[in-house]
Amino acid sequence: MAKAASARKRLCFEAGNTGQDGQKYRFQVYDLTTFDSNNPTEPAIWERGMTEADQVLYWFEKGIMELTIMRNGGPNSKSTTYNIFPANR
């Protein structure tokens, strides 16, 4: 049995870059975990189902675009869960 991994990322989401494709949502995100203003990260696409999308969209409605994502589970695991909450500055 593989040990579950836990990862924590601080991501900045861009409003207006979400779109529904079937049951998946795509968010354009910037990884701010190790932000370096001299070498900014490229945007990435984070594709999630309705469970995570609901959490992200909830914070968008509150005007919060910078979120912390805690991933609980191993790579490619079907039982991976995410905790999503506002980033601490």
Most confident of 4-18, 24-38, 56-70: 56-70
**CATH for 45:** 2.40.50
Asked if the structure places residue 1 within a domain, the reply is no
Domain that holds residue 24: 6-86
Q: What is the mean pLDDT of the chain?
A: 74
Nearest to 84 by CA among 57, 58, 55: 55
pTM of the full predicted structure? 0.64
pLDDT in tens, 65-88: 888 888 888 888 888 888 999 987
Asked if the structure places residue 82 within a domain, the reply is yes
Total count of domains within the chain: 1
